[in-house]
């Protein structure tokens, strides 16, 4: 389902992001290509093959044996190529209900045409035969564009990405499972050159009226991978983090709105607006977290540790609603501790102090010669813990 946004300046180095590590060190303000423009500017496309899929009153669009279903089109016409992708346009406002998963072949795209298209899990009888109990799976070269993915709290994963050169642009994705833990609205597994932009992402593993329970759920989770951009998304309501990731490198998280995270509340289940800590000794990861607005985090607004974080120009408020947490924490609290280094925290607007008295900025297990804090405004209470080499 398409969403209307104000024009937003974002980071894009090139279509294939060949020099992302160099560009990530430059200010984001110096770049001026929006996600919507990037989606239209393509190189190497010599021809695309278009298919139009009406609803036709089909009761299960995940059944490839039903002529005219989404799964039938995908199985009949299959994979495209990098230069000639197959594009499948949904043309009806009526929900395309599915009783199983949709697996997109390589170099295919699903988009909408003349409709506000919805792909929806059958609310009474949905069962996944996919390996990760996902609703929609993207493989190399796939793009999911402008569609609403309505999971109805059925699948463990709303959209699962396992492949390089993939995009989720302009989509609405919501309601991954409340009965399977962990649960993910979007999960990206060990993939490269991935963009998630201009999306509305909601209710991963819990509803907006739930709090204080033992479930894990992330709106977006990245398992390893590199050259990933998460930009200009509106994300809210999760038991754990808005965005969680482990050793992902060359990552840009920018211009997002992230709020109402950590609703599990219980120790060991609660999490932050953005989370990535205790990931071991790594090379410089080139993680850029900038121009995000993060609020109503029951734990930290941003909690990271390790090598190579640039945290700047974010607006963070109403953190630590249920714990004595921080707006920004660069710290590890599990042994063996990460030593945080080559990191910058600057020019962030920390509008108020954390609700339960935690420090606004926390540094612990950090290298004093390569970690700098400067130019932040608002609540600047700071806790400096132990240092490391």
In the chain, where are the structural domains located? 20-384
Q: What is the pLDDT of residues 3-15, one digit of tens each?
A: 444 333 333 333 3
The residues with which 160 forms a beta bridge, in sequence order, are: 137, 187
The confidence score (pLDDT) of residue 265 equals 86
Distance of CA 76 to the CA centre of its chain: 31
Q: 213 - beta bridge partners?
A: 265
Least confident of 33-37, 96-100, 261-265, 269-273: 33-37
Lowest mean pLDDT of 146-155, 158-167, 263-272, name the range. 263-272
Residue 244 burial (CB count, 10 A): 27
| pLDDT reported for residue 42 | 57
CATH of 20-384, one of 2.160.20.10, 2.20.28.160, 3.40.390.10, 3.40.1790.10: 2.160.20.10
Four-point Cα dihedral 178, 109, 21, 333, nearest 10:
10
């Amino acid at each position: 389902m398409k969403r209307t946004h104000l024009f937003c300046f974002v980071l894009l180095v090139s279509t294939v992001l060949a020099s992302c590590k160099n560009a990530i060190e430059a200010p984001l303000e110096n770049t001026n290509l929006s996600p919507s423009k990037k989606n239209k500017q393509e190189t190497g496309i010599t021809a695309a093959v278009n298919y139009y899929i009406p609803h036709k009153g089909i009761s299960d669009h995940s059944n490839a044996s039903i002529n005219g279903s989404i799964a039938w089109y995908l199985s009949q016409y299959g994979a495209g190529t990098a230069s000639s992708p197959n594009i499948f346009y949904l043309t009806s406002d009526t929900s395309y209900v599915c009783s199983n998963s949709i697996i997109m072949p390589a170099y295919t795209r699903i988009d909408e045409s003349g409709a506000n298209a919805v792909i929806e899990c059958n609310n009474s009888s949905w069962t996944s035969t996919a390996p990760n109990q996902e609703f929609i799976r993207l493989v190399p070269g796939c793009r999911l564009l402008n569609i609403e993915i309505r999971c109805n709290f059925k699948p463990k994963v709303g959209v699962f990405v396992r492949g390089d050169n993939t995009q989720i642009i302009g989509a609405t994705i919501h309601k991954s499972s409340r009965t399977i833990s962990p649960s993910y609205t979007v999960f990206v597994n060990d993939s490269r050159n991935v963009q998630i932009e201009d999306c509305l992402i909601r209710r991963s593993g819990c509803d907006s009226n739930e709090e204080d329970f033992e479930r894990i759920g992330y709106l977006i989770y990245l398992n390893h991978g590199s050259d990933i951009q998460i930009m200009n998304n509106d994300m809210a309501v999760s038991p754990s983090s808005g965005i969680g990731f482990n050793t992902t490198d060359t990552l840009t998280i920018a211009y997002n709105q992230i709020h109402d995270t950590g609703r599990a509340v219980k120790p060991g289940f609660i999490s932050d607006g953005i989370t990535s800590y205790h990931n071991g000794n790594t090379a410089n990861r080139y993680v850029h977290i900038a121009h995000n607005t993060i609020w109503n985090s029951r734990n930290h607004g941003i909690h990271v540790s390790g090598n190579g974080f640039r945290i700047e120009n974010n607006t963070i408020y109403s953190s630590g609603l249920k714990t004595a947490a921080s707006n920004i924490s660069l710290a590890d609290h599990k042994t063996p501790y990460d030593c945080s280094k080559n990191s910058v925290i600057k020019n962030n607007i920390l509008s108020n102090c954390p609700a339960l008295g935690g420090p606004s900025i926390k540094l612990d297990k950090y290298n004093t010669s390569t970690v700098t804090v400067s130019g932040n405004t608002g609540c600047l209470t700071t806790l400096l813990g132990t240092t490391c080499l």
